[in-house]
């Protein structure tokens, strides 16, 4: 295999500005630009995922892979192929110039003939990743274990009717948690995989809930035992691959964690397309998680509103993402999380450069959304109008209700005398939407804010 897989792209993708006609340049993303007191790179914390971008051949249920991914050829010696894949991935990440990557155990190391061989493969490849990270400065945003591809997991991992499958999943997560710690990962993610059901006719939902809770407790316990300092994140998704996934959405996962006393141990990794599959806007999911102290990280992508599966397309809507980034910025920005590109090329995007075009577009969209959201915050009108809308709750009546000192009878008395007689007030939705559009449309990008200066 070639020394340089992406030799068609020479050097690091530059910032070209809005007028650049070079498709291999960023139009908005400037890593060093200061935005709300932080470098743009540190606000967005962008990561490349190794699964869709390097470990997926471009197959679908009707056809074989279309992509040029020579390391996926099954005739190759698996560890040689794994090294070629990792070399190409790090070449890509360095040329794109983003700070993080994410991977499942099986993305970087092939499954062996038994657990011991799988472990040896993973340890060797984590060693290779360590070298690439030291050489390039790229860091690990999160690691995760693939508990859904192998046939043993067809009936779920922790929620499997067979406790031996639970045990196998435990061994796999234990190892991958340790590998994530070794690589200094900022987070560890658990996406539900096949934790759900196909039919209630063969499913004991109560047992599966108890098993799942047990598993998540054991993960948290092991995290503390080994001293992993990153955050544990659960990634909600409502369906696919199973008909019904237990981690349906942010609120469902939050309820589950609270039920089992685990809400202090886990936060959420929210994916845009999973939100839309659950019938929510993405910013709803973000706002819910933030409100409940559960916000962790984001899988950036988008779905297709005309179909009902996880198309994982690259994000391209500033309008939609600005609203989500606004929620993130209002809460003070990412702590351990970032924007991970859990995104798939379309099957016909077969040129090597297409992977660059896709990521450049997605990153520019996020960068622009960051600037728009910053403008929304600096402008201040939205926040002020929201505060005014609730202002009476800080008055005598509002405070007395919330203090718990007032009973229904006392309120009813004041209503009956006519002392209290509310008049409907406008929610001004269209006016607020106009303010957002004004920020999106403003030709000038928002003023650069210097480090440390927060307006
Ligand atoms: C699948 C999920 C998956 C997780 C990692 O829909 O998005 O890619 O992010 O296991
Ligand atoms: Ni995801
Ligand atoms: Ni997904």
107 tagged catalytic: yes
- Measured in Å, residue 430 CA sits from the centre of ligand 2 at 33
Catalytic one among 87, 105, 107, 312? 107
**Omega before 241 cis (within 30°)?**
yes
- Measured in Å, residue 243 CA sits from the centre of ligand 1 at 16
CB 302 within 8 A of CB 317: yes
Q: Could you identify the atom of ligand 1 that is nearest to the CA of residue 240? A: 6
- Measured in Å, residue 148 CA sits from the centre of ligand 3 at 13
Tokens, residue 317: 């809507």
Residue with CA at minimum distance from ligand 1 atom 5: 191
pLDDT tens by residue, the chain, 455 residues: 567 999 999 999 999 999 999 999 999 999 999 999 999 999 999 999 999 999 999 999 999 999 999 999 999 999 999 999 999 999 999 999 999 999 999 999 999 999 999 999 999 999 999 999 999 999 999 999 999 999 999 999 999 999 999 999 999 999 999 999 999 999 999 999 999 999 999 999 999 999 999 999 999 999 999 999 999 999 999 999 999 999 999 999 999 999 999 999 999 999 999 999 999 999 999 999 999 999 999 999 999 999 889 999 999 999 999 999 999 999 999 999 999 999 999 999 999 999 999 999 999 999 999 999 999 999 999 999 999 999 999 999 999 999 999 999 999 999 999 999 999 999 999 999 999 999 999 955 544 444 444 33
Residue 279 backbone zone (phi > 0: left; psi -120 to 50: alpha; other: beta) = left
Q: Could you identify the atom of ligand 1 that is nearest to the CA of residue 146? A: 10
Ligand index nearest the alpha carbon of residue 300:
2
- Gyration radius (Cα) of the chain, Å: 24
How far apart are the C-alpha atoms of 211 and 163, rounded to whole Å? Answer: 9
Residue with CA at minimum distance from ligand 1 atom 3: 191
Exposed / middle / buried, residue 405 (Cβ in 10 Å: 0-12, 13-18, 19+): exposed
Pick the closest to residue 40 from 66, 15, 65 (CA basis): 15
Q: Which residues form the pocket of ligand 1, taking CB atoms under 6 Å from any ligand atom?
A: 104, 144, 191, 235, 237, 271, 299, 310, 342
- Measured in Å, residue 32 CA sits from the centre of ligand 2 at 27
104 tagged catalytic: yes
Catalytic one among 27, 52, 87, 104? 104
pTM above 0.75, yes or no: yes
Residue 234 in 3-state DSSP? strand
Tokens, residue 259: 């039920």
Ligand index nearest the alpha carbon of residue 274:
3
- Tally Cβ neighbours within 10 Å of residue 361: 16
Pairing of strands 100-104, 139-144: parallel
How far apart are the C-alpha atoms of 425 and 164, rounded to whole Å? Answer: 60
Q: Could you identify the atom of ligand 1 that is nearest to the CA of residue 271? A: 7
- The preferred substitution site among 49, 146, 191 for testing ligand 1, maximizing ligand atoms within 8 Å of CB, is 191
How far apart are the C-alpha atoms of 429 and 29, rounded to whole Å? Answer: 31
Q: Could you identify the atom of ligand 1 that is nearest to the CA of residue 299? A: 9
For domain 34-379, say whether CATH 3.40.50.170 is its number.
no
Residue 283 in 3-state DSSP? helix
C-alpha dist (Å) from residue 5 to 68, 82, 112, 131, 287:
10, 14, 26, 18, 41
- Measured in Å, residue 191 CA sits from the centre of ligand 1 at 6
The angle subtended at Cα 258 by Cα 254 and Cα 260, nearest 5°, is 120
- Tally Cβ neighbours within 10 Å of residue 72: 18
How far apart are the C-alpha atoms of 267 and 369, rounded to whole Å? Answer: 24
All structural domains of the chain with their residue ranges = 34-379
């Amino acid at each position: 295999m070639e020394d340089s897989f992406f030799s068609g792209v020479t050097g690091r993708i530059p910032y070209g500005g809005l007028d650049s006609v070079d498709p291999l340049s960023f139009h908005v993303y400037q890593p060093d630009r200061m935005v709300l007191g932080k470098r743009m790179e540190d606000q967005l914390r962008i990561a490349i995922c190794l699964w869709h971008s390097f470990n997926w051949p471009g197959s679908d249920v009707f056809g074989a892979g279309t992509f040029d991914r020579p390391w996926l050829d099954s005739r190759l010696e698996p560890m040689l192929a794994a090294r070629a894949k990792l070399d190409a991935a790090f070449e890509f990440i360095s040329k794109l110039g983003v700070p993080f990557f994410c991977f499942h155990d099986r993305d970087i190391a092939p499954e062996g003939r038994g657990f011991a061989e799988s472990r040896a493969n993973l340890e060797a490849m984590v060693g290779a990743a360590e070298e690439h990270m030291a050489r390039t400065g790229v860091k690990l945003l999160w690691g995760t274990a693939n508990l859904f591809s192998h046939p043993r997991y067809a009936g779920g991992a922790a929620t499997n009717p067979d406790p031996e499958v639970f045990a196998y999943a435990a061994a796999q997560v234990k190892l991958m948690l340790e590998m994530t710690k070794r690589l200094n990962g900022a987070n560890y993610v658990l996406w539900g995989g096949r934790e759900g059901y196909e039919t209630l006719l063969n499913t004991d939902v109560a047992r599966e809930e108890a098993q799942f809770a047990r598993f998540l407790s054991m993960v948290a316990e092991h995290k503390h035992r080994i001293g992993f300092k990153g955050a544990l994140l659960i990634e909600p998704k409502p369906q696919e691959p199973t008909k019904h996934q237990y981690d349906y959405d942010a609120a469902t996962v939050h309820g589950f964690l609270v039920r089992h006393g685990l809400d202090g141990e886990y936060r959420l990794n929210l994916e845009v397309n999973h939100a839309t599959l659950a019938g929510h806007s993405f910013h709803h999911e973000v706002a819910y998680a933030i409100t409940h102290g559960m916000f962790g990280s984001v899988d950036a992508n988008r779905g297709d509103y005309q179909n009902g599966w996880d198309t994982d397309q690259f994000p391209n809507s500033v309008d939609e993402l600005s609203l989500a980034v606004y929620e993130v910025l209002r809460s003070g920005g990412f702590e351990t999380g970032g924007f991970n590109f859990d995104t798939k090329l379309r099957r016909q995007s077969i040129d090597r450069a297409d992977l660059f075009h896709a990521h450049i577009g997605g990153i520019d969209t996020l960068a622009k959304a960051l600037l728009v959201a910053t403008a929304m915050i600096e402008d201040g009108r939205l926040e002020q109008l929201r505060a005014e809308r609730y202002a009476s709750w800080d008055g005598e009546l509002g405070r007395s209700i919330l203090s718990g000192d007032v009973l229904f009878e006392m309120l009813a008395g004041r209503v009956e005398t006519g002392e209290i007689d509310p008049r409907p007030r406008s929610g001004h939705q269209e006016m607020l939407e106009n303010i957002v559009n004004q920020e999106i449309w403003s030709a000038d990008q928002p003023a650069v804010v210097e480090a440390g200066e927060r307006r």
